[in-house]
């Protein structure tokens, strides 16, 4: 398949810039995309738009993944119908977005995103209220509609500017995306600095695609990223939460993490952790790598993960460092210093990445339970087993023990055994600790109370 396409494209590499797109139509018999690999709901949307007289295409990552023989996670549709026209065709449609006006066609849990062809955002009296840029060149609003050619020029990467046409099942490659696939290279459409300034998240997307697809970022696309990495600070924190989750919870977390560090994109995302991971052999760096290895393994085995665990691991050592600082500089006891540090660390992180409460609250539980897991006297071990976040806190303890060793290994082994034994064995394990604990503390038993004197 690639050989036929290569002949159509030609072997000569040409620079892709605005106004220089050279579309190549690849007929059905020369590509490997089959309707059997496209979701039924996406086909319903495509055919309804087509039958109503509109252009209808699959576009972007789903086309790229189908060509690579991968299973797309989502199917995105693009059309010349406006959002209002799309809404008239689908009763199950809702229009969303202010920065980008989109239509979501809802089929239960499955959502097909439909966008109208984007046009160029040149300032004029008619488009100023539809398109707006910041002083740094970042697009703040972009609802100017255009043709498929203009839409292709507005795409970020060459591998994402391929369109599957439901009318004749052909693929139109506007920016030599097939060539980029063959050469395993991530390339931008247009001038990299301009495109990154328009949307700094494109730098994160370049890293994500490189890790996910086992490709290299081209020299031209990668050279300016370290210089522009600070632009990530201008991205709304709420948007960064979703983007970072795509980066680190994609099944390619370890390679993504290494690329983020290489291109200096990690610091604007996790500024509190960055100073602690400069040395590859530091416990902080080993902890993050081990956590991401475990996360990748779970995801690639079809298991679920929670963002709360991921973020708790990313911020654990900054939390410990801040807690010690409160004890030394503020004179707080360990308990109060730790709780103050939790508030400090979360507040600083929220300024970069907005972590929803449904994840930040479990993060607090995971952190606080690290101290409680060490207190195994009386009824506490039984109460800990009943805590809804016990399993996450226990997994976190195991992770720490693998990196830090020492007393944490014994503590993790104790909890591993305590979960799996009978109630009677549990009682003996706790009783043994209680006896040893009292001996270590040098505690004295209180004698029987003396009877009160009648006098």
Whether residue 263 contacts residue 207, with contact meaning beta carbons closer than 8 Å, is answered with yes
Is 74 an annotated catalytic residue? yes
User: Who contacts 233 (Cβ-Cβ below 8 Å, separation ≥6)?
Assistant: 268, 352
R_g over Cα of the chain: 28
- The two beta strands, 162-165 and 139-142, are unpaired
Residue 407 tokens, joined: 């007393």
Is 344 an annotated catalytic residue? no
DSSP assignment string, 239-262: HHHHHHHHHHSSS-HHHHHHHHHH
The single residue of 76, 151, 173, 296 carrying the catalytic annotation is: 76
How far apart, in whole angstroms, are the C-alpha atoms of residue 149 and residue 317? Answer: 49
The single residue of 142, 156, 173, 296 carrying the catalytic annotation is: 156
How far apart, in whole angstroms, are the C-alpha atoms of residue 139 and residue 193? Answer: 14
Is 156 an annotated catalytic residue? yes
How far apart, in whole angstroms, are the C-alpha atoms of residue 217 and residue 206? Answer: 7
How far apart, in whole angstroms, are the C-alpha atoms of residue 214 and residue 210? Answer: 6
**CB burial of residue 135 (10 Å; 0-12, 13-18, 19+):** exposed
How far apart, in whole angstroms, are the C-alpha atoms of residue 27 and residue 435? Answer: 79
How far apart, in whole angstroms, are the C-alpha atoms of residue 261 and residue 267? Answer: 8
The single residue of 37, 55, 74, 395 carrying the catalytic annotation is: 74
| The length of the chain, given as a count of residues | 455
How far apart, in whole angstroms, are the C-alpha atoms of residue 78 and residue 33? Answer: 17
Question: CA separation (Å) from 74 to 38, 41, 114, 206, 218?
Answer: 10, 11, 11, 18, 26
Q: How many CB atoms lie within 10 A of CB 108?
A: 7
The helix (H) or strand (E) run that includes residue 59 is strand 56-59
Known catalytic residues?
A: 74, 76, 156
């Amino acid at each position: 398949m690639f050989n036929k396409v290569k002949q159509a494209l030609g072997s000569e590499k040409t620079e892709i810039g605005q106004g220089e797109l050279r579309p190549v139509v690849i007929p059905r018999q020369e590509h490997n995309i089959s309707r059997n690999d496209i979701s039924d709901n996406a086909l319903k949307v495509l055919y309804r738009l087509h039958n109503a007289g509109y252009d209808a295409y699959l576009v972007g990552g789903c086309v790229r993944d189908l060509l690579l023989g991968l299973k797309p996670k989502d199917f995105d549709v693009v059309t010349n119908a406006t959002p209002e026209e799309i809404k008239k065709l689908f009763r199950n449609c809702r229009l969303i977005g202010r920065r980008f006006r989109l239509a979501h066609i809802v089929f239960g849990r499955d959502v097909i995103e439909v966008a109208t062809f984007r046009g160029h955002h040149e300032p004029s009296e008619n488009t100023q209220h539809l398109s707006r840029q910041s002083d740094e060149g970042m697009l703040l609003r972009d609802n100017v509609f255009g043709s498929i050619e203009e839409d292709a020029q507005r795409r970020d990467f060459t591998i994402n500017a391929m369109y599957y046409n439901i009318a004749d099942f052909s693929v139109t490659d506007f920016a030599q995306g097939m060539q980029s696939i063959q050469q395993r290279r991530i390339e931008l459409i247009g001038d990299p600095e301009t495109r990154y300034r328009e949307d700094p998240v494109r730098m994160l997307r370049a890293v994500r695609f490189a890790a996910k697809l086992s490709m290299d970022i081209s020299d031209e696309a990668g050279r300016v990223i370290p210089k522009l990495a600070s632009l990530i600070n201008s991205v709304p924190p709420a948007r960064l939460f979703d983007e970072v989750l795509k980066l680190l919870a994609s099944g390619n977390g370890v390679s993504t993490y290494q690329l983020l560090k290489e291109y200096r994109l990690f610091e604007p995302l996790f500024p509190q952790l960055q100073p602690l991971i400069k040395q590859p052999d530091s416990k902080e760096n080993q902890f993050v790598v081990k956590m991401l290895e475990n996360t990748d393994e779970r995801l690639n085995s079809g298991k679920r993960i929670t963002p709360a665990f991921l973020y708790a691991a990313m911020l654990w050592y900054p939390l410990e460092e801040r807690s010690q600082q409160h004890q030394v500089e503020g004179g707080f006891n360990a308990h109060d210093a730790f709780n103050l540090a939790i508030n400090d660390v979360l507040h600083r992180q929220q300024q970069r990445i907005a972590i929803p409460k449904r994840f930040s609250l479990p993060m607090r539980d995971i952190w606080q339970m690290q101290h409680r897991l060490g207190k195994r006297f009386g009824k506490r071990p039984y109460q800990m087993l009943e805590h809804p976040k016990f399993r996450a806190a226990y997994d976190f303890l195991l992770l720490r023990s693998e990196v830090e060793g020492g007393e944490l290994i014994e503590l993790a082994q104790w909890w591993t055994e305590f979960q799996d034994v009978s109630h009677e064995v549990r009682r003996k394990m706790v009783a043994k600790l209680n006896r040893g604990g009292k001996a270590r503390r040098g505690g004295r038993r209180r004698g029987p109370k003396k009877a009160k004197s009648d006098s």
